[in-house]
Chain A
Amino acid sequence: MLRLLRQQPATTTDVPSDAELLARFQESTKPEDLQPLYERHAELIYALALRYLSTPERAEDAGMEIWAVLLDKLPKHEISNFRSWLQTTVRNHCLMQLRKEKRDPLRQRSGEGLMQSESLMHLATDSSLSNHPDTRPLYHCLKQLKEEQARCVRLFYLQEGESYQSIANALGLSVGRVRSHLQNGRRNLKICLERRQNEND
């Protein structure tokens, strides 16, 4: 009996959906009603702006400008999927800015080509890794990494419960530096593994 009661989902009423927050704002048009929606998606807005504008400072400025754009445009449109609409809006806003500055829009970033996190997780789960034929290349490539990259990769993927922050604290680095080491490490691992695969073919 108690189990049934506990299964009552309180979450649906506690956490309003994007659609609910949007409807509330579109009805009242008060800035205070837009705020929760904006705050929920602030990281996304910033990250998308960074994607299009390439520097954190300009992404931050764009993020602030988007607030005014939302305030103005949301009450005027019927929106079925807020997140999609948001992405389109951020993209258009940034592209317009780039056109004004005559910069190259959507420059390809070198953030691509990272080794899958999931594959690296297997380092931690397999017990006899050094004997397993599939993981030998991975171990080999791990040894090829620079000291700080290898250290971060091992800590993050082999140790349980580590976060960028905890590693940063342990090694006396900034979160950004740890993030950078992990990214570079993963990229180098991928390159190394692909090279080995090409050699074996």
Chain B
Amino acid sequence: MSAQATHELLRRYLRGDLTAPEEVELERRADQDPILAEAMTGLRSVPEADHIIRVQRMLASVREQSEPAAKVRQLSARRRVRRPVYAAAAAALLLLGAIALWPRLMPQESATELALEEPAPSPSPERDDITLTPEPAPTEEPAVVNTPPANPASTSPSSDPRPRPQEETVVPEAELDVVVEEATNTAPPPPPTPLPTPSVTPPELEDN
């Protein structure tokens, strides 16, 4: 018989599913096959051990290591497809924002208009997280920040979170990059659904 059936017999032996005739067959093969004989010697040296659990843990550990690699490849492929789309969407929003804001030079602006404004560059620590996806952020900021020159710094804290609604559509997928970064760095991969990154998602927008 082929060597492949031997590994099946061995598995059945470990599981305790072997019947007497099958054991005879396994032993007959071990007589002919020194590798199998070594394996049987090993297993028989500790007959009471739960060998199956050990093998299952080996397999689980190996699966953990090989599947994230496959997942990263999938995510990378998706990312490559989506980036140009985001860049286009971001550019379109940028343009609309600029057009909407152009006549508005007054600092007293409504909340919705503030939403279209870009925040002041300095007090925006959450921007650092967006650097993971460099394309959307830097291209947006300079153009819109320049248009309302009278935008005082006092409004910036409140204006900081506002632009998020438009960007929210961009960020979630961008967070996949965060997932990928983390997946390659840590052994157990975090779930690919939106990560709890509080600095990026401010409180008022968490239910988005």
Which A residues lie at the B interface, using CB under 8 A? 15, 17-18, 30-32, 34-35, 38-52, 54-57, 59-60, 63-64, 67, 83-84, 87, 109-112, 114, 116-118, 120-121, 124, 156-157, 160-165, 168, 174-180, 182-183
Tell me which residues across on chain A come within 8 A of B55, comparing CB atoms.
42-43, 46, 60, 63
Q: Is the CB of A56 within 8 A of B51?
A: yes
Contact count band on B: 35 or more
Bound CA span A111–B51, Å:
16
Bound CA span A73–B3, Å:
23
Q: List 11 A-B contacts (CB under 8 A).
A: A17-B4, A30-B69, A31-B65, A31-B66, A50-B42, A51-B39, A59-B42, A160-B19, A168-B16, A175-B16, A175-B50
Q: Is the CB of B42 within 8 A of A117?
A: no
Tell me which residues across on chain A come within 8 A of B70, comparing CB atoms.
30-32
Bound CA span A147–B62, Å:
42
Tell me which residues across on chain A come within 8 A of B65, comparing CB atoms.
31, 67
**Nearest-CB distance from B17 to chain A (Å)?**
5
Interface residues of B in 35-67 (CB under 8 A from A): 35-36, 38-51, 54-55, 57-59, 61-63, 65-67
Bound CA span A44–B49, Å:
16
Dominant SS among interface residues on chain A: helix
Bound CA span A55–B46, Å:
8
On whether A183 and B47 interact (CB within 8 A), knowing A31-B69, A84-B35, the answer reads: yes
- Nearest B residue to A55, CB-CB: B46
Tell me which residues across on chain A come within 8 A of B28, comparing CB atoms.
118
Q: Is the CB of A44 within 8 A of B54?
A: no
Q: Is the CB of A48 within 8 A of B42?
A: yes
